[in-house]
């Protein structure tokens, strides 16, 4: 038997990197979804009252210690309710997926992948997690525009998107000729954009501008569902 409850509120994703039982890096992100569903389309660093941010960080630190994560990364999905309380709905003992390390690099200048590799090699997590900038960042996942399987014919606007001020990363996972699926799960993304700015709005504006330029041309596959 599986019992579920729908939790209303502000959906958040929280990244943390622990050292000696304390969070040395925390990033709280707002989430937007594809077509109102549950597949993430965009992530962006949040602006929250300091007390709320401290509350969330204390919660994920406590959860990490309870799970035995004293050194290394973890990420959590949570919902911040109108009552100011957070409900954690998912926990993962790994780096965030969907290009999150690139978002962290754009916002803070940190390299969490290098820090994790170093930890696996016996190094103490340190220098690669020290922020060298204090920006905001946003990430958009690119999916097929079709609701059926198709073949990628070409990418349009990629070079122009890279030239937009604030854009830090443009990654295209699919190449012309590849079979692509509808963007109804995370694994079906075919690219991503990352932007940085002085505020969440600045980063989102850069993504909007780049997203308006870059376009995957996809041809439906005959008989595909």
* Distance in angstroms (rounded) separating the CA atoms of residues 145 and 162: 20
Would the CA dihedral through 109, 22, 127, 121 be positive or negative?
Answer: negative
> Pick from 141, 118, 132: which is nearest to 13 by CA?
141
88-138: pLDDT as tens digits: 999 999 999 889 999 999 999 999 999 999 999 988 767 789 999 999 999
Could you tell me the pTM of the whole model? 0.91
State residue 221 phi and psi, 5-degree precision. Answer: -90, 125
* Distance in angstroms (rounded) separating the CA atoms of residues 177 and 126: 43
Domains and CATH numbers, the chain: 1-133 (3.30.470.20), 135-224 (3.30.470.20)
* Distance in angstroms (rounded) separating the CA atoms of residues 133 and 126: 16
2-35: pLDDT as tens digits: 888 888 999 999 999 999 999 999 999 999 998 8
């Amino acid at each position: 038997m599986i019992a579920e409850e729908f939790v209303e509120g502000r959906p958040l994703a929280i990244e943390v990197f622990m050292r000696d039982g304390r969070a040395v890096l925390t990033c709280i992100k707002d989430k937007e979804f594809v077509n109102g569903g549950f597949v993430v389309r965009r992530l962006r660093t949040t602006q929250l009252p300091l007390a709320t941010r401290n509350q969330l960080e204390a919660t994920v630190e406590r959860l990490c210690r309870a799970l035995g994560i004293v050194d290394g990364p973890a990420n959590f999905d949570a919902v911040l309710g109108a009552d100011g309380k957070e409900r954690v709905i998912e926990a993962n003992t790994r780096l965030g997926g969907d290009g999150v390390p690139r978002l962290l690099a754009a916002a803070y200048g940190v390299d969490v992948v290098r820090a994790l590799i170093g930890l696996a090699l016996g190094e103490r997590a340190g220098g690669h997690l020290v922020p060298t900038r204090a920006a905001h960042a946003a990430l958009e996942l690119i999916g097929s525009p079709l609701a059926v399987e198709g073949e990628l014919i070409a990418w349009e606007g990629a070079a122009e998107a890279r030239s937009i001020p604030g854009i830090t990363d443009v990654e295209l996972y699919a190449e012309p000729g590849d079979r692509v699926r509808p963007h109804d799960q995370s694994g079906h993304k075919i690219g991503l954009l990352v932007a940085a700015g002085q505020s969440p709005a600045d980063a989102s504006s850069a993504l909007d501008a780049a997203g308006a330029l870059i376009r995957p041309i996809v041809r439906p596959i005959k008989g595909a569902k």
